[in-house]
Amino acid sequence: MMIHQYKLNGYNIVMDIHSGAIHVVDDIVYDIIEKLTPPLADNCPEELYALAYSKEDIDQAYAEVLELYKAEQLFTQDDYARFDKLMTVSPIKSMCLHIAHDCNLRCKYCFADTGSYQGGRSIMTAETGKKAIDFLIKHSYGRRNLEVDFFGGEPLLNFGAVKEIVEYARSKEKEHNKVFRFTLTTNGVLLDDEKIDYINKEMSNIVISCDGRPEVHDRMRPRVDGSGSYNSIMPKFKKLVEKRGDKEYYIRATFTKYNKDFTEDVLHFYNEGFEQISIEPVVTDPKHPYALTEEDLPEVFAEYDRLAAKLIEMRKNGEFFNFFHFMIDLDQGPCAIKRLRGCGCGNEYVAITPDGEVYPCHQFVGNPQWKMGDLDSMEVNLATKETFARSTVYGKDECRECWAKFYCSGGCNAANMQYRGNILKPFKLACDLEKKRVECAIMIQAALAE
């Protein structure tokens, strides 16, 4: 069994991890649950009467706790290990196409070494991209919904190939009974009307990169000549989103040590007319001056609290924005299997380089020891696939015992590799941030349920 309880923004929250139940409780129940270890007796245990409440209140509160316990909504047993056999090698259904290993910006925190991925600058030919589509069709077996993400570097540097690849994939849908969903991530520099219309027609989701306030953005996302890029991209992003209608998009930012007050950047986006907002912490080597480290956590946590409070206040005023990391659907979320399986990197998901090499995911590209196949042979290394298939929540000792496991899904293998030398060892800084965001997200649900 596993309980996580915490107090935030005036709410006492008790999470019963293995049933998924979330309870908002008063102080008595909060204190009682803290003292209990199952199995629970029908009668209130003597030691609870030591709590600073009347006997009557304690009896009543205990009765409610007991009722939930019997309904398997509290102190529920962990019996998920039996689903382990489902955590095996799966068809590939999702692919990241590195359409251009090149970029027209020089973002300081770029994990891809400003687009080149530690190799030379190069672009993917339409031929290679089409082969990648054939590869995905082949390796997806019976899976119907397939995802292709156009990634870079900057994919608009090679937009002709993007279009050819999309058309090719569409032409194969019927014959193979597949549905392709395309997504694209762009810095916006090369957007024009024609590209905007094409993207809005073909891409089921688009991620537009901007860091928020102009001075924050321009500091980290300069052009090659060092000048800022905010003024040229912002009008294009607005146009794209205006024309997009109901289709999904995210404006996404990276926050660093320089803007730990990122609530201001969220509000900047909101004021500029964006509703779907994502801001993520930079993950990078602590040697960089802009890196976030342990010592920044208290401030960053306080900022997440501030943002959560702001979101609640605005929602209650009828002002809507969606912050990606606070989105949570407590009833209709994914199944437990999906939650336990994790990101699917190297198993359900792969990345393809401009040269047609296959890697477990975009973050492993550039490390030749992780190469797991190529488009010439159209094959993937099964041993690598198996390694990643085992990298589930229950395959990682620390994750199995973590209260956030069903919300986090086991973190990022690539970050684990980079910072702890093992895909199965979670990177603590990322865990701390993830857990804080989950706590905020659930507190927001409690507040909005009032």
Partner 1 sequence: MKHIKTLNQANLKETAVKGGCGECQASCQSACKTSCTVANQKCEHKK
Piece of 116-124, 128-136, 341-349, 378-386 that binds partner 1 (CB under 8 A): 341-349
> Using the rule CB under 8 A, is 79 a contact of partner 1?
yes
Please identify which residue in 54, 118, 145, 227 interacts with partner 1, judged by CB under 8 A: 145
Among 44, 48, 75, 90, binds partner 1 (CB under 8 A): 90
Which residues contribute to the site for ligand SF4 (CB under 6 A)? 334-335, 337-338, 343, 345, 349, 361, 363, 393, 396, 398-399, 402, 404-405, 408, 410-414, 426, 431, 434-435
Q: Is the peptide bond before 142 cis (omega within 30 degrees of 0)?
A: no
Measured from the CB atom, the residue of 282 and 314 that comes closer to partner 1 is 282
Q: Residues 214-233: x/- map of binding to partner 1 (CB under 8 A)?
A: --------------------
- Binding mask 391-420 toward partner 1 (x if CB under 8 A, else -) reads ---------------xxxxxxx-xx-----
Q: ∠ CA(429), CA(412), CA(295), 5° rounding?
A: 10
Considering only the stretches 44-52, 226-234, 259-267, 273-281, report the one whose residues sit in contact with partner 1 under the rule CB under 8 A: 273-281
Report in angstroms how near the CB of residue 334 gets to ligand SF4 at its nearest: 3
| Binding partner of 22, given ligand SF4, partner 1, none, CB within 5-8 angstroms per partner class | partner 1
* Least Å from the CB of residue 301 to partner 1: 17
Q: What is the DSSP letter of 40?
A: P
CB atoms within 10 A of CB 292: 21
Contact 394, 81 (CB under 8 A): yes
> Which position among 1, 5, 6, 19 is part of the footprint of partner 1 (CB under 8 A)?
19
Nearer to ligand SF4, 302 or 337 (CB): 337
What span, in angstroms and rounded, lies between the C-alpha atoms of 25 and 15? 10
C-alpha dihedral sign at 337, 341, 344, 347: negative
d(C-alpha 337, C-alpha 90), whole Å:
13
Give least dist CB 418 to partner 1, A.
11
In whole angstroms, the minimum distance from the beta carbon of 335 to ligand SF4 comes to: 3
Query: Strand, helix or coil at 107?
Result: coil
How many CA atoms does the CB half-sphere of 298 hold within 13 Å?
1
Question: How many residues line the site for partner 1 (CB under 8 A)?
Answer: 90
Closer by beta carbon to ligand SF4, 49 or else 141: 141
Q: Are 157 and 195 in contact (CB under 8 A)?
A: no
Q: Pick from ligand SF4, partner 1, none: which does 435 bind, CB < 5 to 8 A by kind?
A: ligand SF4
CB 215 within 8 A of CB 289: no
Q: Which residue has the tokens 């609640």?
A: 312
Q: Are 155 and 99 in contact (CB under 8 A)?
A: yes
**With binding defined as CB under 8 A, does residue 73 bind partner 1?**
yes
Rule CB under 8 A: choose which of 36, 44, 48, 93 binds partner 1.
Answer: 93
CB atoms within 10 A of CB 321: 17
Are 146 and 140 in contact by the 8 Å Cβ rule? The answer is yes
Place of tokens 């702890």: 420
Please report how many Cα atoms fall inside a 13 Å half-sphere around the Cα of residue 433, on the Cβ side: 23
Report residue 316: phi and psi, to 5°. Answer: -65, -20
Partner whose footprint covers residue 252, from partner 1, ligand SF4, none (CB < 5 to 8 Å by kind): partner 1
Q: 65 touches which of partner 1, ligand SF4, none (CB within 5 to 8 A by kind)?
A: partner 1
Using CB under 8 A, which of the segments 90-98, 157-165, 227-235, 310-318 binds partner 1? 90-98
Q: How far is the CB of 194 from partner 1 (least distance, A)?
A: 25
Residues ≥6 apart with Cβ < 8 Å to 165: 97, 99, 126, 129, 130, 132, 133, 148, 150
Quick one: what does residue 426 bind among ligand SF4, partner 1, none, with the CB cut-off 5 to 8 Å set by partner type? ligand SF4
